[in-house]
Each structure stands twice: as structure tokens, then as C-alpha cells.
Amino acid sequence: MPIITKNGRRWNTARSFLAQARKRKHVTYQSHAHGVRVLFDGNRATGLETLVKGKRRLFRARKEIILAGGTMETPMLLERSGIGAGEVIKRIGVPLLAENPNVGEHAVEQRMFAAQWKISKQMGLNEQLSTQMAQMRTGAKYLIERDGIISTGAYELAAVAKSDPSLPVADLWLQFNPFMNDISGAGFGVGADPGFSAAGYLRQPTTESSVHATSADPFAPAEIVANYLEHESEQVAQHRLLEAFRGIASQSPLADMIDEEQVPGPAVQTREDAIAHSWASSHALHACGTARMGSGDDSVVDGSLRVRGVEGLRVADASVLPSQPGNTMAPAIGIGAMAARIIAAEA
Ligand SMILES: Cc1cc2nc3c(=O)[nH]c(=O)nc-3n(C[C@H](O)[C@H](O)[C@H](O)COP(=O)(O)OP(=O)(O)OC[C@H]3O[C@@H](n4cnc5c(N)ncnc54)[C@H](O)[C@@H]3O)c2cc1C
């Protein structure tokens, strides 16, 4: 499965882009600056109010400001700056600068369907991960050789499938791990027995959720309404994930070594069971859409990432994605690259 990695180390945008940019003389880098709100002169963004270790610090912008706080924080930053739905801005008690009911709305996230099988053969990674001694050996191998399970991604293998053969593109995502989790307690741990685990989700669900600020205080909790699988077609497809996992597990040679389907277990059969099991699983951590890009009034930013209704303000993060792409890390990096190209071309 493709992962973001370099020389055996999981890589990230701070190392690959920011570290390079910080070497330039005209770049000032300030960490631990918590964005409170964007400052405006009329409707032109002129600065950012931040809190640095509890102290108010203002950053002034001669040209423009680019927000990249992510799907959860960017809409709240906009709202604390007076950009959003009238009733939200009124509730948090800041002056309304640009009314836009799309801010914080249209969030799309996937609901996972978890699965796990115990196998009869001592193979896979449980042996390497389940005891403290094995973990130390695995850790030492990684430190010396930059190799082994720690150098890989969260899942080793992925597949796409169609919930309905007549669909033009695959709508299901299935990912597998060559080890089993310890499901005896509430915490997250690796099981002692050999086995493999999996998770699946709909690549492009359309049920929408929302994220809004509840106060002008940047540390106040968000109001998050998390919805999943509201449409019947999504529920049918989510059920097909269960059938797809069981279809894979029922085939030789895998089937010959499976002792038991531990998760979700034989009691889960119907569509209702599959949805209930999905609620007990997790979400995929791919939320997007709360400052969605578009050409009309149903969007927050235009095709050049400019925030509608004000000047000198752009958003460049996963919040601008107008629909769920499936995975969001690479698209978020792509948006950053796109923003850089647009801004450089306009300079
Ligand atoms: C545990 C986990 C695992 C994931 N695994 C995958 C994966 O395997 N594949 C995949 O495609 N996607 C994955 N994702 C999703 C992916 O990481 C995100 O979609 C992507 O990082 C979004 O990029 P972004 O720039 O929009 O936001 P972020 O990466 O969240 O960046 C936003 C930044 O803004 C900062 N910030 C927020 N608020 C403020 C504020 N008020 N002031 C100052 N700074 C602020 C944050 O600290 C953060 O550094 C995963 C997410 C999580 C949480």
C-alpha cells in the first residue's frame, strides 16, 4: 500500500516542505501560535491574532493570509473572524463580516467496518508485537535497520471493490493488517494469538456532518454533529463490506487456516447488524468539506481558494475538498501545492 515514507521513516509535510522553506531568509516561523481570529480592515484581511504561550501576538499581512487549520479548526477560525452562518456568528458574539451558511457544514467522513480473524498457523506479526520482549526486538530492528513493521504504514494491504457490479467505479475500500488486536479489554493492544485484522469503509459517502464554534474563545469546545450512513444506498453498500470480507475469508488458502471470525462474529448478519457494528467500529479520520470549494453560493472558497465575501484571505487544507476523495492526506498535500502555484502565478 502506498505510504509517505523516506529511508524507512514515516515522512510528513513539516519535514518535506516546511523544513526547506524555513531555510529562506524572508521566512519567519512561529510555532505554538494558536490562531484566535483573522483581523480585518473593512472586508480586507490584514492580520492574524494569535496566542503564543498565553500571550496575545499579532501578525500583520501586507498581501494576504492563508488558513490551513484543517477540517475541524478552519471553519471555527472563520466563524471567530465573523465569517459564517448568521446565527452561529451571533451565538459566539462577534461582529458579522460575511454571511455564509456553508462554513462548518457539508463535512463528509467515513464510517469504518472492523473485522478480525484468528488463524491456526503461527504466522503474521502477532508474535513480533504482543510481548514486551518482542516489542523491544522489533523496536531495535527499526532503530538499527529502519526496517520491519514500524517502518510500514497503518495497514499493509488494501483493495477496492464494487458493492454493485453495475457501478462505474469501485465504491468500497478494504484494508488489512497481518496481525490481530487484543479485543479483551477497552484499550488498544496487540493480541497474543496469530491472526489478521481488517477495516473497510465507503470511499465516497455523501451523508453530511457539521463543525461550528461555540464561543469567541479559541479553546472552547466545538459543536460537532457527526452523521454517518444516513442514505439507504450507503447502508446497502456498508452491508456489502461485511459480505466482501466474508467472501475473501471464505476462499482457499486463507479459509483453510482460519479458526474463527472474531470480529464482527457470526451474530452479525443483516444490514441492521452491519450498521450497528459500524457504529461500534470507528470513523476513518478523513473528514473534509467544511470550507468547501465551488463556483457558486453553496461554497466557502472559490476555485482559487479565496474565501467568498472578503478579500485577502484563502484556505488551503482538506476543508476545501467539496466531496470525499477516499483518502485525504495526499489530496491535502495536493491542495497545498495548488495554492502555491496559484499564489505564485498571481504575484
Ligand atoms: C490518526 C490519523 C491517521 C490518519 N491516517 C491517514 C492515512 O493513512 N491516509 C490518509 O490519506 N489520511 C489519513 N489521515 C487524514 C489526514 O492526516 C488528514 O486528512 C490531513 O492531515 C489533512 O490535512 P490538513 O492540512 O487539512 O489538516 P492537518 O494536517 O490537521 O493540519 C492542520 C494544522 O493546523 C494546526 N492548527 C489547527 N488549529 C489551529 C489554530 N487555531 N492555530 C494554529 N494552528 C492550528 C494543527 O495543529 C495542524 O498542524 C489520518 C488522520 C489521523 C488523525
For the Cβ of 317 lying below 6 angstroms from any atom of ligand 1, the answer is yes
Measured at the alpha carbon of residue 116, what is the angle toward residues 173 and 124, in degrees to the nearest 5?
Answer: 100
DSSP 8-state secondary structure symbol assigned to residue 149: G
Q: For the chain, what is the mean pLDDT?
A: 95
Name residue 275's amino acid: I
> In the prediction, which pLDDT does 131 show?
86
Shared domain check, 304 and 272: no
Q: Ligand 1 pocket test: which of 219, 282, 286 has the largest number of ligand atoms within 8 Å of its C-beta? A: 286
**Alpha helix positions (H), 56-174:** 70-80, 86-92, 126-129, 132-145
Q: What's the grid cell of residue 318?
A: 482538506
- In the chain, the percentage of residues whose pLDDT exceeds 90 is 85
Return the percentage of the chain with pLDDT > 70, whole number.
Answer: 100
* Any domain includes 108: no
**Residues 61-83: what's their mean pLDDT?**
98
Grid coordinates standing for 314?
484563502
Average pLDDT over residues 214-237: 98
Residues 74-78, mean pLDDT to the nearest whole number: 98
The answer to whether residue 8 sits within a structural domain is no
Q: Would you state the pLDDT for residue 127?
A: 86
Whether residue 187 has pLDDT greater than 80: no
Going by DSSP bridges, is the β-strand pair 83-84/98-99 parallel, antiparallel, or unpaired? Answer: parallel
Mutate to test the pocket of ligand 1, among 329, 333, 338 (most ligand atoms within 8 A of CB): 329
pLDDT at 111: 97
Let me know: does 78 contact 291? Beta carbons within 8 Å.
yes
Say yes or no: 184 and 320 in one domain: no
Q: Which of 190-199, 201-210, 284-293, 315-324 has the lowest mean pLDDT?
A: 190-199
pLDDT of residue 150: 87
Question: How confident is the model at residue 63, as a pLDDT?
Answer: 95
Model pLDDT, residue 41? 97
Same domain, 253 and 294: no
294 lines ligand 1 (CB under 6 A): no
Does the bond joining 253 to the residue before it have cis omega, within 30 degrees of 0?
yes
Q: How far is the CA of 73 from the centre of ligand 1 (A)?
A: 10
C-alpha angle 59/62/65, rounded to 5°?
60
Q: 324 and 198, same structural domain? A: no
pLDDT average, residue stretch 28-38: 96
Mean pLDDT in residue range 234-243: 98
At a CB cut-off of 8 Å and minimum separation 6, what does 71 contact?
Answer: 107, 211, 287, 288, 289, 290, 317, 318, 319
pLDDT at 114 over 90: yes
Give the torsion through C-alpha atoms of 124, 125, 131, 136, to 10 deg: 140
Clarify whether residues 255 and 122 are in a common domain: yes
Please give the single-letter amino acid code of residue 157.
L
> Could you tell me if the CB of 218 is within 6 A of ligand 1?
yes
**Alpha carbons 242 and 193: distance in angstroms, whole number:** 23
- Cα–Cα distance measured from residue 124 to residue 28, given in angstroms and rounded to the nearest whole number: 47
Per-residue pLDDT at 115: 97
Could you tell me if 88 and 213 are in contact, meaning their C-beta atoms sit under 8 angstroms apart? yes
The whole-angstrom separation of Cα 82 and Cα 63 is 20
Residues forming beta bridges with residue 47, ordered by sequence position: 39, 60
**What distance in Å separates the CA atoms of residue 36 and residue 31, rounded to the nearest whole number?**
14
Instruction: Decide: residue 84, CB within 10 A, 0-12 exposed, 13-18 middle, 19+ buried.
Output: buried
Give pLDDT, residue 22.
Answer: 95
Residue nearest to atom 37 of ligand 1 (CA): 69
Q: How far is CA 237 from the centre of its chain?
A: 21
Please report, for the domain that includes residue 208, its CATH number.
3.30.560.10
Residue 304 banded pLDDT, cuts 50, 70, 90 = very high
Q: What atom of ligand 1 comes closest to residue 76's alpha carbon?
A: 41
Which residue's C-alpha cell is 470550507? 291
Report which ligand 1 atom has the smallest distance to the Cα of 327: 11
Give me the CATH number covering residue 43.
3.50.50.60
- For the chain, the domain total comes to 2
Structural domain span for residue 89: 32-99+290-346
Question: Is 13 a pocket residue for ligand 1 (Cβ < 6 Å)?
Answer: no
Whether 195 and 260 share a structural domain:
yes
Other CB atoms within a 10 A radius of the CB of residue 248 amount to 17
> Of 256, 280, 304, which closes a domain?
280
Query: Do 123 and 49 belong together in one domain?
Result: no
Nearest protein Cα to ligand 1, atom 34: 69
Domain contains 157: yes
Say if ligand 1 is within 6 A of residue 67 CB.
no
pLDDT at 185 over 80: no
Same domain for 181 and 321, yes or no, is: no
Sign of CA dihedral 30, 33, 35, 38: negative
pLDDT for residue 182 = 86
CA 305/CA 32 separation, integer angstroms: 25
Looking at residue 18, what is its pLDDT? 94
pLDDT > 90? residue 1: no
Pair 178, 240 in one domain: yes
Beta carbon of 328 within 6 Å of any ligand 1 atom? yes
Ligand 1 near 136 CB (within 6 A): no
pLDDT of residue 3: 87
Name residue 258's beta-bridge partners.
119
The Cα–Cα gap between 291 and 75 comes to: 6
Stretch 103-129: mean pLDDT, rounded? 93
Task: Please compute the mean of the pLDDT values over residues 221-249 and round it to a whole number.
Answer: 97
Nearest CA to ligand 1 atom 19: 328
Calculate how far, in angstroms, residue 287's C-alpha sits from the geometric centre of ligand 1.
10
Same domain, 165 and 312: no
Mean pLDDT of 239-264: 96
Query: Read out DSSP for 60-125?
Result: E-SS-EEE--HHHHHHHHHHHTTEE-HHHHHHHT----EE-TTTT--BB-PBPEEEEEEESSS-SS
Per-residue pLDDT, 82: 98
Position 70 scores a pLDDT of 98
Say if residue 186's pLDDT is above 80.
Answer: no
| Count, residues in the chain | 347
| pLDDT in the model for residue 154 | 80
User: Are 127 and 270 members of one domain?
Assistant: yes
* 121 domain residue, yes or no: yes
**Residue minimizing CA distance to atom 18 of ligand 1:** 329
